[in-house]
Amino acid sequence: MSLHPALRFSDPRAFAERSIRAHGIALSGGATSDLDSRVLQAWRRSGAAGISPDQELPARVLTRDQVTDARQRTPLRHIAADVVASVSDTSAAGRHLVVLTDSRGCLLWRAGSPHVLRRADSIAFAEGADWSEQGIGTNGISLALETGTLTHATAGEHYVRAHHGWTCTASPVRDARGRILGVLDVSHPVRFSSSETAALVRCGARLAETLLANGVGGQSPDDLPPPDPGSRPGPEGSADGDDNPVTEIRLLGWRPSVVRADGSTVDLTPRRAELLALLASREAWSARSLSEALYGDRDATATVRGEVRRLRQLTGLSIDSQPYALASHERGCVDFLSVEHPDDLLPLSEIPAIIDLRYGI
């Protein structure tokens, strides 16, 4: 049986010991079921990219001038300071490090206490360092870029041994079209592992995306270029309604999406998938109840309205307002409503309302 994810927070020392032992077995050619298969696959890719588990420095580190240039080129440049400040703890007692990368996993901003910054320097977890999978092997940032969802990398789940003393929680930051602009990561020594870190990262990513959606990032949603044609149509491509109806809404498994009659699909960000799952779970929602279920905050109605609007634009789904309701014929296309035990419903989601749906509570 694989290493249970709950152990990551309930007993971080045990999780670290078992994951590090599994790391040694797997990298010496043995077989282990203690780790998630996606982590093992990521390790294989890391090795194929030429990364050594004994590597100390990333394959690429930008100069100071290159960091400045990279910051100027990312749409995150105008919101980075606010987002990092909202999540960081720079006091002398601060235990965690906050970093924000660009879309390629290059670390461009960071903040933390002097002690945590010094410790991060020892593993080149610093501005300009390439923390993509090709740069330094499997880690929280690389997994977030690969999966497109909030992820954890604790102790032995890191490919490079020098990182085994750390636990990392990372989430992609997306623009209004769903494209990943960067990754927000919170890291700290393993002994400080806490399930609260996920909530901290999720709130930071939500703040970043809200600021971007409101045009704070210097580029409003209306200024963005149209999406590429093909499998991920944007508002223009999904407005064909009756001529190309939704035939499947896939919320079971790792890649939530909406599928139309012509076979085209719209991939969903984790947050929009959670919103759609909640809308499908009952006939109608008030704005306040949906805010509480999705964000744990009954007053987040403005955020909910914005997310519902973007979900409509992205997918073309028929979602009524006041109250919010998914059309009955589209609810009939939702996969998890047709199974008795939807254990695979959005498996990376940690919001209580989704967990309740997953286990039929």
For residue 8, give every residue at least 6 positions away whose Cβ sits within 8 Å of its Cβ, in sequence order, or none.
15, 152, 154, 167, 193
Is the pLDDT higher at 154 or at 6?
Answer: 154
**Could you give the number of structural domains in the chain?**
2
Does the pLDDT of residue 228 top 60, yes or no? no
Residue 86's pLDDT is 87
Which domain does 156 fall in, by range?
7-213
Same domain, yes or no: 107 and 178 = yes
Same domain, yes or no: 263 and 299 = yes
The domain that holds 266 is classified in CATH as 1.10.10.10
What is the pLDDT averaged over residues 131-140?
97
Same domain, yes or no: 47 and 155 = yes
Does the pLDDT of residue 240 top 60, yes or no? no
Residue 216's pLDDT is 57
Same domain, yes or no: 160 and 251 = no
Does the pLDDT of residue 249 top 70, yes or no? yes
| pLDDT band at 337; cut points 50, 70, 90 | very high
| Residue 2 within any structural domain of the chain | no
d(CA 109, CA 107): 6
Is the pLDDT higher at 326 or at 221?
Answer: 326
For residue 107, what is the enclosing H or E element?
Answer: strand 107-111
Question: Which of 213, 245, 269 is the endpoint of a domain?
Answer: 213
Same domain, yes or no: 154 and 78 = yes
Strands ordered across the beta sheet of 265-267 = 246-250, 257-260, 265-267
Can you state the angle between helices 270-281 and 287-295, rounded to 10 degrees? 130
Residue 297's pLDDT is 84
Q: What is the pLDDT of residues 304-331, one digit of tens each?
A: 888 898 899 889 899 998 799 999 999 9
Does the pLDDT of residue 338 top 60, yes or no? yes
Q: Kindly list the distances between the CA atom of residue 239 and the CA atoms of 190, 236, 251, 297, 333, in Å, as whole numbers in the listed order.
A: 48, 6, 21, 32, 18
Cis peptide before 58, with omega less than 30 degrees from 0?
Answer: no
| Residue 91 within any structural domain of the chain | yes
> Tokens 């909640």 identify what position?
278
φ, ψ dihedrals at 183, nearest 5° = -135, 135
Residue 242's pLDDT is 58
Q: What is the pLDDT of residues 49-95, one digit of tens each?
A: 999 999 989 999 999 999 999 999 999 999 999 899 889 988 888 89
Q: Are 249 and 330 in contact (CB under 8 A)?
A: yes
| Residue 30 within any structural domain of the chain | yes
How far does CA 10 lie from the centroid of its chain? Answer: 22
User: What value does the mean pLDDT of the chain take?
Assistant: 87
| Residue 1 within any structural domain of the chain | no
Q: Are 176 and 224 in contact (CB under 8 A)?
A: yes
Same domain, yes or no: 203 and 301 = no
